[in-house]
Structure 1
Amino acid sequence: MNKKALTQLALAMSIFGSVGFFSGLTGLSAIELVFVRLVCAAIFLFTAWLITGNFKNEIWNQKELLFIILCATSNLLNWIFLFKSFEQTSVTIAISLYHLAPIFVLIIGSFIFREKLTWLLILALSLCFTGTLFILGLGEIHSSAFEWNGIIYSMVAAFFYAATMLFGKSITKTSVYATTFLQMTIGILLLVPFVDFSAYTSLNSIEWFYSILTGVVHTGVVYLLFFNGLRNLPAKVISFMIFVDPAVAILLDILLTEFRPNWLQCLGILLIFCGLLFTIKQSKTSANSECIGSGKDSAA
């Protein structure tokens, strides 16, 4: 287990858990907000790339450039549909359903990266997803006020989120700085024709502050941490660490608003963290077993 990568991914997910709350304070619709995030993040990442000196030792690979383009496209669609879901339904509901993504990652990753998918891991993942459903509130699904457009947008965003993670895990030679900067730049070029620039003229200073904050922190900083974690952790650990995001979202809902979770939602948070801890422990056990096996082979 790469502890540094695990810490970075956990921090990235913790920060990203607050994005739904800050997006509501920007005064921008989905496409315009995504565009601001892309521009701010691109400037931040390019600056970091120059300051660290990584651009001098960059290794360019044609195959990886293709993965970067695919990753950027899927990431752009992921953001657009996620913020559209925030417009149609509550942050808690949108974020919870958004976390269908780890299921896609775990299943597809087991085939692409040939990582063993055991029944115990499937059980642990089921605990995490059940936890998100409990946070969502099962009774609300049958409510006539439930926004089905928001559900659909969240699930589509989940699909593109999974694609982003899988493409990102395939990028190993290009530095994290170059990878994320190129993704933001490609996203800007793809999105420019669809942006309503007049929407920015009505923003006040506070809305601009939150818009730039989500660009630099929730995008630039988060994606440096996120993509470094992706390339240094197995898909099964990535799948479970992403569940930190909805747990943080619900905790912020408690701290920043008058929302109080019921017993079912409290159980959901508990299930998420139980699944996380179980998976990390299993991954450490697997890693130790592989090391022992390699040692025996060498001795033989």
Structure 2
Amino acid sequence: MKNAYIKFILAAVIFGTNGIIASHIPLSSYEIVLTRTVLGGFFLLILATARREWGSLRRASRTSLVWLVLSGLFLSGNWLFLYEAYQHIGVSLATLMCYCGPILIMILSYFVFHEPFTVPKVSAMVIVTVGILCINGAADQAHGLSWGLVCGFLSAVCFALLVIAMKKVSGIGGILSPACQLLVASLVVAAVTLSMPTAPVSLDMTHIACMVCLGIVNTGLGYYLYFSG
């Protein structure tokens, strides 16, 4: 449990820098997500190959494979809505909106996995909900219900469904599972990106370094730590 908590905390710290790094990349939200999923997915595929985990994919049940594909779809929704929210309401507020997800996960886990509500869980849910309502309520009064706030909440919904789907996946290697998930997400994001009009953008070495960091460290390494933890 100690190692699992360390992995989870490290992943949370890494994910917390996503918006900051993305703000230095002059691409559309769709292009940033596409770059992130492709780089992260191939990075994890290389690790999975080195660990010889491909056999677990062939032995996995059809149900697990279906849940794995669904998790990739939910991941693409989570990131597309989140990065769209970044551009409309800023990194901090969009991140707070997305972190409504854990509350939804605890509620869904009660019905899906029959995990009981405990006093610490309920207390945490109430405190976080009140905090989110205060922060987002102030934003709503200042700017009204905006598309950015809607995107932030939809990213939270997709995040909750993503975690539920991943907990349904069994028998697939610890690195191979998020790798396949990222590649499924990249196909969805690629289809969305190709349907969107984009203007040519000039990238310098700083922009490219941020893209590589977001894809390999914040996505590949971060997702390995998160789901293995």
**One of 177, 180, 184 as aligned partner of 2:178:** 180
Name the CA distance, whole Å, in 2 between partners of 1:57 and 1:66: 15
Shift of 1:130: 3.3
**Cα distance, 1:137–1:190 mapped onto 2, change above 3 Å:** closer
Q: Is the 2:18–2:218 Cα contact (8 Å) retained in structure 1?
A: yes
Where in structure 1 are there 5+ consecutive unaligned residues? Answer: 230-300
Shift of 1:184: 1.7
User: Which secondary structure does the structure 2 equivalent of 1:96 belong to?
Assistant: helix
Match of 1:36 in 2: 35
Q: Is the 1:81–1:153 Cα contact (8 Å) retained in structure 2?
A: yes
Shift of 1:150: 1.1
**One of 163, 169, 172 as aligned partner of 2:161:** 163
Q: Is the 2:78–2:155 Cα contact (8 Å) retained in structure 1?
A: yes
Match of 1:5 in 2: 4
Shift of 1:109: 0.3
TM-score by length of 1: 0.70
Where in structure 2 are there 5+ consecutive unaligned residues? Answer: none
Deviations 1:202-225 (A, max 9, x none): 222211111121111111111111
Q: Is the 1:67–1:170 Cα contact (8 Å) retained in structure 2?
A: yes
**Cα distance, 1:184–1:213 mapped onto 2, change above 3 Å:** same
Match of 1:193 in 2: 191
Match of 1:226 in 2: 226
Deviations 1:61-117 (A, max 9, x none): 211000000000000010000000000012111111111111111011011111111
Match of 1:82 in 2: 82
Name the CA distance, whole Å, in 2 between partners of 1:137 and 1:81: 17
Deviations 1:41-79 (A, max 9, x none): 122011111222333555422110000000000000100
Where in structure 2 are the equivalents of 1:48-127 lying within 5 Å? 48-56=47-55, 59-127=59-127
TM-score by length of 2: 0.90
Match of 1:20 in 2: 19
Shift of 1:8: 1.1
**Cα distance, 1:41–1:199 mapped onto 2, change above 3 Å:** farther
* Higher mean displacement: 94-103 or 183-192: 183-192
Name the CA distance, whole Å, in 2 between partners of 1:141 and 1:194: 29
**Cα distance, 1:198–1:109 mapped onto 2, change above 3 Å:** same
Name the CA distance, whole Å, in 1 between partners of 2:131 and 2:190: 38
Name the CA distance, whole Å, in 1 between partners of 2:21 and 2:146: 23
Higher RCO, Cα 8 Å, sep 6+: 2
Aligned length, in residue pairs: 226
Where in structure 2 are the equivalents of 1:214-293 lying within 5 Å? 214-229=214-229
**Cα distance, 1:69–1:200 mapped onto 2, change above 3 Å:** farther
Percent of aligned pairs with the same amino acid: 23
Deviations 1:110-143 (A, max 9, x none): 1111111134421222223334456x37544421
Where in structure 2 are the equivalents of 1:141-156 lying within 5 Å? 141-144=140-143, 148-156=146-154
Q: Is the 1:89–1:147 Cα contact (8 Å) retained in structure 2?
A: no
**Cα distance, 1:199–1:48 mapped onto 2, change above 3 Å:** farther
Name the CA distance, whole Å, in 1 between partners of 2:214 and 2:15: 9
